[in-house]
Amino acid sequence: MLYPAGLLDWAGHRGGGVRRLFDPSSGRPGEAVFETNLLSRLRDWAQRIAAAEQGTPRVVLLVGGPGNGKTEAVEATIGDLDVALNCRGALVEELAKSYHPPQGKAVPRLVAVDAGAASQPVRDLRIEVVQDASVGGQGNHTPAMLLVQELEAALRSPTGVYICCVNRGVLDDALIYSIDSGLSSSQDLLEAVVRAVSLAPDAPSCWPLEEYPVIAAWPMDAESLVEPTDSREDAPAAAVLGRALDPARWREGGVCQAGSACPFCGSRKLLAGRRETESFLRMLRWFELGTSKRWAFRDLFSLTSYLLAGNGTGHRGASVDPCEWASSLVESDKQAQLQGRPKKDTSAALFWLVSVQYQHALFHRWERGLASSLLQDIRELGLQEDNTAMGLHYFLQSRITGYVPATIAASLDAFVELLDPAMSSPDAEVILWGGAVRLGEFDARFSRSVREGLDFAVGCRALSHNERTLLERLAALDELLAVPRLRLKRPAAANRIQRAVRDFACRITRRSVGARNAAVPDAATLDAFKRVVADADGEGHDLREIANQVEDLLNDDHNFNVSLTTTFGQPLPPSRRRATLVVSRRRVFPRDVAHKGRPRQSICFLDVEVGSTPQPIALTYDLFKAVTDLDHGLSPASLPRSVLALLDTTRARMAGSMVRDRDVRERPTIILGETVAVERYRGRFEAGKRGGRR
């Protein structure tokens, strides 16, 4: 099926949502397997299994939530094993039979095949596959119980291979079951697995496990799919986007039902540009860094489907071909231009056409309460017969709920919150026809009139056909609101509508050019943080500088103060009633993190000097941004709550260790109130005024 209609099945709530083993018709958007670091690792593992190399893990656990590509990785690995063992397709065929049982029979939880009998030469090799460890068994056998039993059996088998896809919840349940049942060996094993697949700073090697070399585990949700692979191939996200934009799968430009007004064909043409593609992928990565979340394959497929094919439903909720839906909106808009009575289906048609362009589908949020207040002002001015004014109201009303697929709604909301170009600095620059333009240039012109902003944007070739048409109508409405005959009726209402119209037009323009240029809020800070994370392996200068700045935040000049009269979360008492333990300044430095046998590091950690055992602190984007803002003159009292909470938690953990530290107890310095200082001297305490003699 041609795109964009064919892209509808990429969505997570449609055909692209669930992948079934050895079923080509299920859950494989793009009809291809996208290369990842894990697939490369599994391919090498299959070769080593076939060569019977000593020390090769025989238990593989793929750990992660849904949509991370676990099933695809298993199927690709079975294919690699088939080739490496010279099974000539027999291994894949035998497993496929088990995963396609006769009608009425369920797919078993564990599928086992004698791979050695099908290989050339024949060998003793049994392969067991668990596609989904959350599946239970008969009777009282829970998934956790079965996982424990299967792992115990796999460790006892000298020639068997066990491949299992398991989410973290089942893994935790299995650990709890082994503890409750007194299975000490299984408990030790599962604790090692949980530690290895965690994102903790001291997590050991997971491929293979440090304490169990026969087992290899991999956290599927740890690596970014937006970064190039270790072999310098394109990022999986870039490969997904490239497949969706393949011109061979689209109609030639302008020949779909909606013609040149089709927003989906227009989005494909825009995103096919190198600058637009790089900007889009850059924003996806910045989102990961800013929120500490990862795009899963299912998220990427759903997002691509939404941006290039819409949500697959018309404004009445019926399923519809994207180009046919766009064509129907073009016809509805023509009816609105005949100056008929304003209706939701016709007046808002052009607004909807603009809203599904990828820039506006990506940054989709509008002020929730604006629709109702706008309608009240429209009624006060008697503009109920104006199609543009009512179209704006109808559009804003339709933006409240239900238009973004549920599979990516939460992620897109966070995306807009972090990266909306409408909130970018006026000093941010975008590259347009004629050279670089500051976003403030658009702000200044649209604040005076929509017409002035539109003329400037058209001169820079900044707008699409649909955007330009919409802003032409908004400019006409803006000019109508300036007519004294209308304005004098309700000047306050006219001002409010005029502000809303100009702000709407400016946001449309900012989002259109900002998305194409990745001109988002704090772009420079996000890019700097990306470099710090990428350079963490080498402990570059940037990371050491950040550690020094965090050290300044934690310490009080040359000392570190510990409150002895409060516990964590309590407010400090008045200064005259405080008791404070004073120790020397605590150092902060980059933490050495193990990289061998682990995914590429996705977050940096700093070490805080506390006695003989340094304490780790995560360098989150919020903390990094706070340190950067302090350099630019921000007051420490104005730091975000999340950063203050992180610093307070770190200080509390440090304080707990300090008051128990033997070296500190031997000769402490304590400040009582505002004036009294107490120190231990020659086995006894001596008190005196601060700065004076004892």
Does residue 341 share a domain with residue 208? no
Mark which of 219, 253, 288 sits at the end of a domain. 219
In a domain, 2, yes or no: no
Q: How far, CA to CA in Å, does 376 sit from each of 322, 347, 494? A: 34, 17, 11
Does residue 477 share a domain with residue 340? yes
User: How far is 209 from 166, CA to CA, in rounded Å?
Assistant: 16
In a domain, 640, yes or no: yes
Residue 588: name the closest of 647, 641, 666 by CA.
647
Does residue 206 share a domain with residue 168? yes
User: How far is 253 from 255, CA to CA, in rounded Å?
Assistant: 6
**DSSP character at residue 30:** G
**DSSP character at residue 107:** P
pTM of the prediction? 0.90
User: Tokens 């008190």 correspond to what residue?
Assistant: 687
In a domain, 8, yes or no: no
Does residue 460 share a domain with residue 315? yes
Mark which of 219, 254, 278 sits at the end of a domain. 219
Does residue 653 share a domain with residue 608? yes
User: How far is 554 from 650, CA to CA, in rounded Å?
Assistant: 8
Answer whether 312's CB lies under 8 Å from 320's CB. Answer: yes
Reading phi first (left if > 0) and then psi (alpha if -120 to 50, else beta), residue 10 is in alpha
Answer whether 378's CB lies under 8 Å from 494's CB. Answer: no
Does residue 421 share a domain with residue 295? yes
List, as one string, the DSSP characters of 229-278.
PTTSPPPHHHHHHHHHT-GGGBPPTT-STTGGG-HHHHHHHHHTSHHHHH
In a domain, 77, yes or no: yes
In a domain, 14, yes or no: no
Residue 241 belongs to what domain range? 236-521
Q: Is the Cα torsion angle 103, 104, 108, 113 positive or negative in sign?
A: negative
Answer whether 309's CB lies under 8 Å from 264's CB. Answer: yes
Does residue 60 share a domain with residue 148? yes
- Letter for the amino acid at 516? R
Mark which of 503, 521, 539 sits at the end of a domain. 521
User: In what helix (H) or strand (E) does residue 459 lie, and over which residues does it extend?
Assistant: helix 450-459
| Residues, the chain | 694
In a domain, 21, yes or no: no
Residue ranges for the chain with pLDDT beneath 70:
15-18, 24-27, 30, 137-139, 253-254, 314-318, 536-541, 569, 663-667, 674-694
Residue 584: name the closest of 545, 607, 551, 550 by CA.
551
Does residue 540 share a domain with residue 515? no
Beta strands (DSSP E) in 393-534 are: 429-432, 435-438
In a domain, 660, yes or no: yes
Residue 694's pLDDT is what?
47
User: How far is 312 from 310, CA to CA, in rounded Å?
Assistant: 6
Give helix 297-309 / helix 406-419 axis angle, nearest 10°: 80
What total of structural domains would you count in the chain?
3
- Strands 160-166 and 59-63, by their bridges, are parallel
Residue 417's pLDDT is what?
95
Does residue 278 share a domain with residue 214? no
In a domain, 226, yes or no: no
State residue 561 phi and psi, 5-degree precision.
-105, 135
Answer whether 388's CB lies under 8 Å from 477's CB. Answer: yes
How many helices and strands in the chain, by DSSP H and E? 28, 15
**DSSP character at residue 6:** G
Does residue 581 share a domain with residue 499? no
Q: Is the Cα torsion angle 227, 229, 234, 239 positive or negative in sign?
A: negative
Residues 6+ apart with CB under 8 A from 462: 430, 432, 433, 437, 509, 512, 513
Q: Is the Cα torsion angle 244, 246, 249, 251 positive or negative in sign?
A: positive
CA torsion 657-662-665-671 (nearest 10°) is -30
Residue 678's pLDDT is what?
66
Does residue 275 share a domain with residue 202? no
Does residue 671 share a domain with residue 555? yes
User: In what helix (H) or strand (E) does residue 583 lie, and over which residues does it extend?
Assistant: strand 579-584
Q: How far apart are the two ends of the chain, measured CA to CA in Å? A: 89
Answer whether 481's CB lies under 8 Å from 460's CB. Answer: no
User: How far is 60 from 154, CA to CA, in rounded Å?
Assistant: 10
User: How far is 92 from 20, CA to CA, in rounded Å?
Assistant: 14
